Amino acid sequence: MKPEKQVHPFPPVFDENSRVLILGSFPSVASRRAMFYYGHPRNRFWHVLSLLYNEEVPEDVDGRREFLLRHGIALWDSIASCTIAGSSDASIRGAVPNKIPELLEKAPVKKIFCNGKTSHACYEKYVYPLTGIHAAPLPSTSPANAAKSLEALAAEWKAIMD
């Protein structure tokens, strides 16, 4: 697949009760089509959160947004625009970060977590110098990280609940 310049197509999810911010890297092709986060059916993000909070997996965008806000979770991506081949984080070039400091001014976020290495690297390189707040890396929920079981992922992701 040929690398193409892409701009993040949808806004962050947050409100005045958001205490935790989870950052992905950049939306996959499936997420860009769905116009919401973690739209690929094999991405385990929604399954991990559902397991942690002992709830059914929310099936649609409205249910997913409501789930996040009910649990005080803000959701966005580290990257606002980049050149990317399909959904491959490894192909990302010319990343421009999202304006995360602006979100942090609007929501009472206490902890920041990154879903995967690419998100964490981008955050630490571009955003940490502006905020002085380190983000904690979590293992990716991507289908590309299939070596970890759902239960193993959830065990590490439990950190968002502390």
25-44 pLDDT tens trace: 999 999 999 999 999 999 99
**Distance, CA of 145 to CA of 44 (rounded, Å):** 10
**Distance, CA of 48 to CA of 62 (rounded, Å):** 18
- Reported as a single tens digit per residue, the pLDDT across 81-119 is 999 999 999 999 999 999 999 999 999 999 999 999 999
**Distance, CA of 144 to CA of 157 (rounded, Å):** 17
Q: Given this model, what pLDDT does residue 151 score? A: 94
Pairing of strands 136-138, 111-115: parallel
SS3 131: helix
- As a whole number, the mean pLDDT across the chain is 96
What lies within 8 Å, CB to CB, of 40 at 6+ separation is: 28, 30, 31, 87, 142, 143
| DSSP-assigned beta bridge partners for residue 115 | 138
Residues spanned by the domain of 48? 4-161
The single residue of 17, 43, 115, 145 carrying the catalytic annotation is 43
Number of domains in the chain: 1
- Count CA atoms within 13 Å of residue 122 on its CB side: 29
Q: Given this model, what pLDDT does residue 162 score? A: 76
CATH of the domain at 73: 3.40.470.10
Q: For 13, which DSSP code? A: B
SS3 150: helix
Q: For 16, which DSSP code? A: T
Catalytic residue list contains 43: yes
State the average pLDDT over residues 46-72. 97
Q: For 158, which DSSP code? A: G
